[in-house]
Amino acid sequence: MRGPHNLVRLIRTGATFERTGAMAVVLDAMDAPKPLRVAIRLFAAPFRWLGYEGDPAMPPATRAITALGPAYIKFGQILSTRPDVVGDELAVQLRVLQDSLPPFPTAQAKRAIAIELGQPVDRLFSEFSEPVAAASIAQVHRAKLAETGETVAVKVLRPGIERAFRRDIEAFYFAARMIERLSPASRRLRPVEVIAHFESVVLGELDLRLEAASAAEFAANTARDEGFDVPVLRWHLSGRRVMTMGWVDGIGAAEVAQIDAAGHDRKRLAARVLQLFLAHALRDGYFHGDMHQGNLKVGPDGTLIALDFGIMGRIDEYTRRVYAEIIFGFIRKDYRRVAEVHFEAGYVPADRDVDAFASALRAVGEPIFGMDASRISMARLLNYLFEVTERFGMETRTELILLQRTMVVVEGVARTLDPHINIWEASRPVVEDYIRESIGPKAVARDLGRTVQVLSRFGPRLPALAEAALVRQSHPEPEPRRRDLPPIGWIAVGA
């Protein structure tokens, strides 16, 4: 029954997009070829009456997505951070989805908490407010602990959200495969891979225990970061569908007028947002993967406070070093070194010309560095870099997708606070410190020490492992005979 269900859901989705006027907007953003446009419009038009009307006050794309429900809203939120897929204009429209959404009744939230934590809400909390924030997956209530009177934030999943997501994700896959078949040109956008990325992100957010673990790890990593804070987690009041953290008072990072009225230095805050993100990514290899304005607050003392840890990114130490060297090479305009790093890491096939690649990188970097500081963009650099590396046969590095996407989002937050920020100058101290610590003599000694530790752990087994390897080398296993060819003797007889 999945096929018919997916088809019906797809028809309703297309009808809603057609009815709200979002279909033309989306097709324009994706630069869809004419045959695909005609096919989709002809398919959706007869069913226009089946589509949801949505809120006419909203822009077409957000109007359609909001009307279709939580899974579509979450998908729109993720696409809002992927201008490389949907285009800059549509990405800006979709950012509306990061703001408040209609909440579900408080009575349902209390019922879910009582089931999850095994006690009535009135016994756990002396006060429990109406929803103070609502998103596509969960909503937040302000409460006071019955035992201590401490104010906390209680996050509760929407009722039935898991079932709704499973249903809609199947429809998304169905639509992505149809798009790839109807339009081979669309395969460069990898629609099926985009849906797979979306699915992995959402499944992690549907278990608040995983988010709680992420928050705890992130808090431990950043405990010594000056001017940065993570709310304290309350493990005994958290579970799969409920998470409780300390309440934080602050101003949203998008509220520029309020930040000014409070007397905060927006230029300093902008630089800190960028530097903290780079420090977390390079130093820790663990960073906030959804660091938009809605997930950042400015505390009374100017401290940046991170919220919502459902999407976190992780990169290994070697990849961090490669990424830092690439950024540092661009900062120093050492394009030859940037090219060499790509080849050393295996990002570009070895049979390509390193000098030609360095020249192509210079064509990427020089126009950007020639711009006024307020127009220098890490997002633009990454976009150009993707074009160049694609020409030279570089495959998509899945471990860098979230990092690159978040870098674009963080740059947007920094520019909201300080439109004239020089991205490169703000990045330089963090990248230089990391290069100094990870590539210099101290780093070599540290790497050797780790290697010795690994060898010492396997020391008792090394002789046996070496002997087994030598035996295999001396007595290689015979290659299996191919089943699709007859025996040589049979060929001779047949001849």
Whole-angstrom distance, CA of residue 331 vs CA of residue 365 = 9
Q: Which are the contacts of 120, defined by CB distance < 8 A and separation ≥ 6?
A: 114
- Give kind and range of the element (H or E) at residue 133: strand 125-134
Residues near 49 by Cβ (< 8 Å), separated by ≥ 6? 15, 19
Q: Does residue 119 come out as left (phi exceeding 0), alpha (psi in the -120 to 50 range) or beta?
A: beta
Determine which helix (DSSP H) or strand (DSSP E) holds 12, and give its type and residue range.
helix 2-20
Instruction: Tell me the two tokens of residue 437.
Output: 């610590």
Strand duo 125-134 + 138-145: pairing: antiparallel
Catalytic residue among 168, 290, 308, 418: 290
Alpha-carbon radius of gyration of the chain = 27
String of b and e for 23-52 (b: at least 16 CB within 10 Å)? Answer: bebbbebbebeeebbebbeebbeebeebbb
Please, which residues have CB within 8 angstroms of residue 95's CB and are 6 or more apart in sequence? Answer: 80, 292
HSE, side-chain direction, 13 A CA sphere, residue 77? 26
Which residues neighbour 118 within 8 Å (Cβ) at sequence distance 6 or greater?
none
Q: In sequence order, what are the beta bridge partners of 229?
A: 305
Instruction: Kindly list the distances between the CA atom of residue 252 and the CA atoms of 293, 295, 421, in Å, as whole numbers in the listed order.
Output: 7, 8, 19
> Which residue type occupies 289?
G
Structural contact between residues 60 and 21, judged by C-beta atoms closer than 8 angstroms: yes
Burial code (b: 16+ CB inside 10 Å, e: under 16) for 401-413 equals: bbbbbbbbbbbbb
Q: Respond yes or no: is residue 290 known to be catalytic.
A: yes
Report, as residue numbers or ranges, the catalytic residues. Answer: 290
